[in-house]
Amino acid sequence: MADFATHELRGDGIVLRFLDLGGIVTAIEVPDRAGRIDNVAVGLPDHVWRARNAHYRFGAIMGRYAGRIAGARFLLEGREVRLAANEGPNALHGGAGEGFDARPWEVERLGEGAARLRLVSPDGDQGFPGRLEVTATYRIDEGPALRIDFEVRCDAPTVLNLTNHSYFNLAGAAAPSVRDHRLRLFASRIAEVDEAGIPTGAMAPVAGTPFDFLEERAIGERIDAARPHVTGCPGYNHSWLIDGADGRALRLAARLSEPGSGRTLEVLTTEPTIHVYTANHFDGSDLGAAGAPLARHSCVAFETQHLPDSPNRPQFPSTVLRPGEVFRSTTIFRFGVTP
């Protein structure tokens, strides 16, 4: 028997399902241009969530630190914090051990279209200092849209980086590829990284490169030329800096469309960056909930967050949270159709 429960939120033109395990979004059902309903959130069958999602992080809340930290260590107020490395010498998504994506969250229903999820992360969790009180609110908004609001308090100085790690295929969760999806990113610079996905510190203009989505283009048009191949797999696994982001106001970060179905997705966020990951490591050996192989480039994730390795990069937007402060962020996934 599964050791988690499924929750459902409904709104006009959208149905959302999620688990109390990791806050995992398992389904987002929306219509295409002909009114046909399909799930556009790619995920796993119910019976394998606990065993396999640590490999993929489908739909989960990532923490304490989404993304990579070089050397699995950083300095905080003059003291070295050491994490357990889980990707070579580096820490990915908080490092080894159970992250927020593998924890049971307390769920409070706020009506048919909203729920509040709560988690307490103790001092020393994944090696990070400070006790955290974390709230994630899932809400169905007009659009139709899924709105995710994070709110975090701590009792000692710490760092954090939270995101939702949902994967999308607007043709439906069983569709084989997103290479023909058309993408526009409202971001004129990218964080340059090495082959391990660690930022070099440079912010490179995207114009005229394979990372240039300033005008709408097919994801697959230049995907094979996007270098470096982070951790050896071709595709996008990089962070774009959202133009005009100030950490407070919602900004349009991405617009995605799928020509066949007519479905569209807009991503708005208060976060400074959007990390685009095109399922580069998927090898087709697992089947998704829709029964189709989880193959390379079969879906795309939009991780709204701060930059990787920010705790080691004082020139990056800060990820430090101190007692008395409240971390807040909002991301909206807004769906629609083209004629």
Neighbour-count burial for 3-17, b at 16+ CB within 10 Å, e otherwise:
eeeebebebebbbbb
pLDDT tens, residue order, the chain (339 aa): 357 899 999 999 999 999 999 999 999 999 999 999 999 999 999 878 877 777 789 999 999 999 999 999 999 999 999 999 999 999 999 999 899 999 999 999 999 999 999 999 999 999 999 999 999 999 999 999 999 999 999 999 999 999 999 999 999 999 999 999 999 999 999 999 999 999 999 999 999 999 999 999 999 999 999 999 999 999 999 999 999 999 899 999 999 999 999 999 999 999 999 999 999 999 999 999 999 999 999 999 999 999 999 999 999 999 999 999 999 999 999 999 998
Specify if 211 maps to a domain: yes
Specify if 98 maps to a domain: yes
Domain coverage including residue 267: 6-337
Domain count, the chain: 1
Predicted model pTM? 0.97
Element holding 53 (H helix, E strand): helix 49-56
Q: How many angstroms separate the CA atoms of 89 and 188, rounded?
A: 31
Q: Which residue is catalytic, options 181, 238, 303, 306? A: 303
Catalytic (active site) residue 106: no
Q: Which residue is catalytic, options 93, 165, 181, 238? A: 165
Specify if 1 maps to a domain: no
The residues facing 265 across adjacent strands are 256, 335
Specify if 102 maps to a domain: yes
Q: Give me the pLDDT at residue 55, please.
A: 77
The CA distances from residue 83 to 89, 127, 219, in Å, are 10, 5, 35
Specify if 285 maps to a domain: yes
Specify if 45 maps to a domain: yes
Catalytic (active site) residue 303: yes
Q: Give me the pLDDT at residue 1, please.
A: 36
Specify if 164 maps to a domain: yes
> What CATH code is carried by the domain that includes residue 88?
2.70.98.10
Q: How many angstroms separate the CA atoms of 316 and 192, rounded?
A: 13
Q: Give me the pLDDT at residue 49, please.
A: 82
Specify if 171 maps to a domain: yes
Q: Give me the pLDDT at residue 2, please.
A: 55
